[in-house]
Amino acid sequence: MKFRIAILALLVFSITSCLKTKTEGVLVLNPENFEHKMKSSDFQLVDVRTPEEFSEGHIPNAINININGSDFVSETSKLDKDKPVMVYCKMGGRSAKAASILKEQGFKDISDLDGGITSWREAGKIIEN
């Protein structure tokens, strides 16, 4: 019985540890809805991956502000807080962190690409180098 409880606890922990933390007030959008929002609004698109990852391919018109860079907060503070900001990373973890920081900075309209550029690629969406 104890073994079953331990296995169940391990399974629950494994599943929840892989989930992306959601920030209140941040829209987490699948690739189709993310693309739709890009077509329907004036927005700022931010790729929060490293410059090396960005150079391997990114969503068109994205700017690169590395979430792990020491200048992330100062660079994002230059963005227009009155315009929607859309963020993504490789799989969604770093962009969730970035969305949280943007929320703390006072951005109101924040969207995060669920599954990051990986899900974007899998959906057959356009990538540029």
- 89 has catalytic annotation: yes
Give the tokens for residue 71.
Answer: 């200048």
Annotated catalytic residue: which of 26, 48, 89, 117?
Answer: 89
- Distance of alpha carbon 116 from alpha carbon 85, whole angstroms: 15
User: In this structure, are strands 26-29 and 63-64 parallel, antiparallel, or unpaired?
Assistant: unpaired
Q: Tell me the one-letter amino acid at 39.
A: K
Within 8 A by CB and 6+ apart from 38, the residues are 45, 86
Catalytic residues: 89
